[in-house]
Chain A
């Protein structure tokens, strides 16, 4: 198990092909930071437990010369118990600070509570496809084109059941609800082509409800939304 833990951290360091940890937008970078930060904080806990566990189990295992040994009953130890109440609370407090900061910035909100400036995209999900409408009125299916470096303001609506909009490289995800518009902002995406998918189980072809997200330069975007 220890080896596996090591393996994971190596993978995290090299970041081989792990979409979520190769952020291509500011939003996703913040999220990746939180993931890595919480991971290392938690590794402290894992290592502490593993070391104590291995040590205790090995040291106090049954051997033949302990056959008649009767261990002393230890009912508890106030100081030790206080230690493992207080230290975890401190550890969690450290984790809570960036959590709260980024959560306040990024949480999706209902449509009428949003006053963000930027490029607006109207996303409509239905079983089993995505429709993206741009500010010029251009509508495209399963192909999202957005400009780099902007604030992309997604207005999400569903025609039928609940879906979830997710582009791992750009951040996410946010549920797409019927009857209620949610707004989610992706800040500062970088040029590239990324996979997008539906992340909330929505019926028979849920697995196939994918789309492509293309981040292009601002000029290309202007040209794109104005051509038919």
Chain B
């Protein structure tokens, strides 16, 4: 569409136009609603908060927003692939490449990550008896960096400069020579900023879990979600650092003409190594927290302690460890040679063993119990068979010679959607339904919850099951069209129907949230008959939790007090808790980094320098603030 602008005409594709119109149309009622209900104060409260529940809520909120955006991307992809030789809207060639790039990048970095980090933020301190994360200020910095990175990435679409390099950003396609536009820079800086935030939050979670457990809450008495969070955070520290390095090198290649990933000195395969040394652990970063969620939920709704707790912990750790030894199974076809291909095939197979252990332990937790089919439990139960189906195709993919056929086809697409949706997305939904009372004080409606679950589950299988077959029929991933002669119309059409069914299922969730908040009743501390400490504190979790502090004597401490009709012993002498503070510095830091990235992207170096000075200045300001002062008084000086 051509738009006249200052005597010039500006070409704007219709999908970008639609995005602008939609955003403005959404912004007006939301803005009016905020003004009418006088919620501006609430927004400011959240902007400057460092409270773990509030930051967790922000993570979840934006994770859901991006989930809808990336979901709509997926629907565009499926609409384009619904018929042979289809020309749906603008999504052929370049636009199709953009839409699968944003779908993948958003879903991994700006949907799955924040939703999981949000759940961890809300729940882990409550589960282990911590009053907040160890470094509340850093927690806020972590969130706002994620936010700045995600906004930076999303802005690209509105100015028609969307990256089109796939979420994997393979060099040399991602170097300046082949994608000279700003799109790839939006990818580089968007991920860099948000990745930094993720690293901070992971550090924070590790220290919290190591240092701020309630008295008596030994590591061996922690709920499995807390364990999964600990191991995941360790993985994040390593994996996201590698990603940061990779993006940093790519930035130098693009901005300053170095040649790490191309030319005679560099090698594009270096990028693949770095990316997958990040990328494969990332898969477990997404899956392990979900495993933790399911362990807690299955135990709660079977009324039984988890089967084989020690081996469950060991297998999480083992998966995390092996996760770093399998990255080259994404690279069987790049000619690393038979030795490497064999090694990585075997390590990949090995990872199936601890995963299998977990599946059987979940099944045997159910055995002998009393299974209540609540919505969180439905998602947990839906997870088991679906995830196993994804897991076995994973083993098939590990067979390196067979992988020459599978690699980069719809078969792989089917595989990773099976594992990621069945574990991460089901886990997130299960966790949201389960812990919703701890976030808001409401329990989401069960009936709409069941509708959401069943439509989502059926839609999910309808979408991705046929892709196994189309993959074997020879359809590579990331192609926008096929011919009638390929004979894959019906399978593709089924996938499209499934995708739209998943889209519809999300409307049930929206409706459910709306109804719950308009008609719902507030619930007490323990709506699910829970087992762990988070059900000991009020719903929603107050800012000042665990006062007095409970003393933990066993795993599932709350459950056994209920069983034996006693109350948890408490104490008032505890470790000094982290101090809540309110500050605009975190969001300002993130915005300064945003400006810095914007400056580098468009070679506006003055802007980059302003942003850089802003960040450094805020570091200095921060170094001279001590929020502990008003609690403990000025520290004595021992001169």
Q: Which residues of A contact B (CB under 8 A)?
A: 1, 4-5, 8, 11, 17-21, 28, 30-32, 34-35, 38-39, 42-43, 45-46, 49-50, 52-53, 56-57, 60-62, 66, 69-77, 80-81, 84-85, 88-89, 92, 95-96, 99-100, 102-110, 113, 160-162, 164, 166, 168, 171-175, 177-180, 182, 195, 197-207
Other A-B contacts than A1-B385, A74-B307, A161-B268, 20 sampled, CB-CB below 8 A, are A1-B461, A31-B402, A35-B402, A39-B396, A49-B384, A52-B363, A57-B381, A60-B369, A71-B370, A75-B305, A76-B309, A85-B357, A95-B395, A108-B335, A173-B405, A179-B264, A197-B474, A201-B97, A201-B408, A207-B93
Q: Tell me, in angstroms, the Cα distance from A103 to B399 when the chains sit together.
A: 8
Contact with A along B324-367 (1 / 0, CB 8 A): 00000000111111100110011001101100110111011011
Q: Tell me, in angstroms, the Cα distance from A182 to B404 when the chains sit together.
A: 14
A4 to chain B, nearest CB (A): 5
- Tell me whether A60 and B366 are in contact (CB under 8 A): yes
Contacts of B353 on A, CB cut-off 8 Å?
A: 85, 88-89, 92
Minimal Cβ-Cβ distance residue in A for B477: A201
B381 to chain A, nearest CB (A): 6
How many residues from B make CB contacts under 8 Å with A?
92
- Cβ contacts A to B, 15 pairs, < 8 Å: A28-B405, A34-B402, A42-B396, A53-B381, A53-B385, A61-B373, A71-B368, A75-B305, A81-B308, A88-B356, A99-B401, A161-B178, A177-B268, A206-B97, A207-B480
Query: Which of B93, B338, B349, B473 is A18 in contact with, Cβ under 8 Å?
Result: B473
A22 to chain B, nearest CB (A): 10
Chain-A contact segment, one of B117-125, B155-163, B464-472, B625-633: B464-472
Q: Is B478 an interface residue (CB 8 A)?
A: yes
- Tell me whether A202 and B173 are in contact (CB under 8 A): yes
Q: Tell me, in angstroms, the Cα distance from A179 to B172 when the chains sit together.
A: 11
Contact with A along B390-421 (1 / 0, CB 8 A): 01110110111110111111000000000000
Contacts of A20 on B, CB cut-off 8 Å?
A: 405, 472-474
Q: Tell me, in angstroms, the Cα distance from A115 to B100 when the chains sit together.
A: 40
Query: Which of A17, A60, A171 is B302 in contact with, Cβ under 8 Å?
Result: A60
Q: Tell me, in angstroms, the Cα distance from A30 to B478 when the chains sit together.
A: 27
Contacts of B341 on A, CB cut-off 8 Å?
A: 103, 107
Q: Tell me, in angstroms, the Cα distance from A199 to B479 when the chains sit together.
A: 9
- Tell me whether B262 and A11 are in contact (CB under 8 A): no
B561 to chain A, nearest CB (A): 15
Q: Tell me, in angstroms, the Cα distance from A32 to B307 when the chains sit together.
A: 39
B34 to chain A, nearest CB (A): 42
Contacts of B520 on A, CB cut-off 8 Å?
A: none
Contacts of A175 on B, CB cut-off 8 Å?
A: 333-335
Contacts of A164 on B, CB cut-off 8 Å?
A: 333, 407-408, 476
Q: Tell me, in angstroms, the Cα distance from A112 to B366 when the chains sit together.
A: 57
Contacts of A11 on B, CB cut-off 8 Å?
A: 469
Contacts of B408 on A, CB cut-off 8 Å?
A: 164, 173, 199-201
- Tell me whether A1 and B389 are in contact (CB under 8 A): yes
Contacts of B97 on A, CB cut-off 8 Å?
A: 201, 203-204, 206
Q: Tell me, in angstroms, the Cα distance from A174 to B465 when the chains sit together.
A: 26
Contacts of A75 on B, CB cut-off 8 Å?
A: 305, 307-309
- Tell me whether A73 and B402 are in contact (CB under 8 A): no
Q: Tell me, in angstroms, the Cα distance from A102 to B393 when the chains sit together.
A: 19
Please report the number of residue pairs spanning A and B whose Cβ atoms sit closer than 8 angstroms.
Answer: 275
Q: Tell me, in angstroms, the Cα distance from A180 to B336 when the chains sit together.
A: 12
Q: Is B372 an interface residue (CB 8 A)?
A: yes
The 5 A-B pairs at the shortest CB distance, nearest first, are namely A42-B392, A207-B479, A168-B474, A76-B308, A34-B402
Minimal Cβ-Cβ distance residue in B for A198: B476
Q: Is B45 an interface residue (CB 8 A)?
A: no
Q: Tell me, in angstroms, the Cα distance from A202 to B479 when the chains sit together.
A: 10
Q: Is B129 an interface residue (CB 8 A)?
A: no
Q: Is B376 an interface residue (CB 8 A)?
A: no
Contacts of A77 on B, CB cut-off 8 Å?
A: 307-308, 364
Q: Tell me, in angstroms, the Cα distance from A199 to B487 when the chains sit together.
A: 19
Q: Tell me, in angstroms, the Cα distance from A10 to B547 when the chains sit together.
A: 62
Contacts of A96 on B, CB cut-off 8 Å?
A: 345-346, 349
- Tell me whether A60 and B405 are in contact (CB under 8 A): no
Contacts of B479 on A, CB cut-off 8 Å?
A: 197, 206-207
Minimal Cβ-Cβ distance residue in B for A70: B303
- Tell me whether B407 and A92 are in contact (CB under 8 A): no
Q: Tell me, in angstroms, the Cα distance from A88 to B361 when the chains sit together.
A: 14
A146 to chain B, nearest CB (A): 18
Contacts of B356 on A, CB cut-off 8 Å?
A: 45, 84, 88
B43 to chain A, nearest CB (A): 41
Query: Given known contacts A46-B388, A109-B337, is B367 in contact with A60 (CB within 8 Å)?
Result: yes
Minimal Cβ-Cβ distance residue in A for B384: A53
A52 to chain B, nearest CB (A): 5
Contacts of B307 on A, CB cut-off 8 Å?
A: 74-77
Query: Which of A32, A66, A80, A168 is B370 in contact with, Cβ under 8 Å?
Result: A66
Contacts of A66 on B, CB cut-off 8 Å?
A: 370
- Tell me whether B396 and A35 are in contact (CB under 8 A): yes
Q: Tell me, in angstroms, the Cα distance from A177 to B93 when the chains sit together.
A: 23
Q: Is B269 an interface residue (CB 8 A)?
A: yes
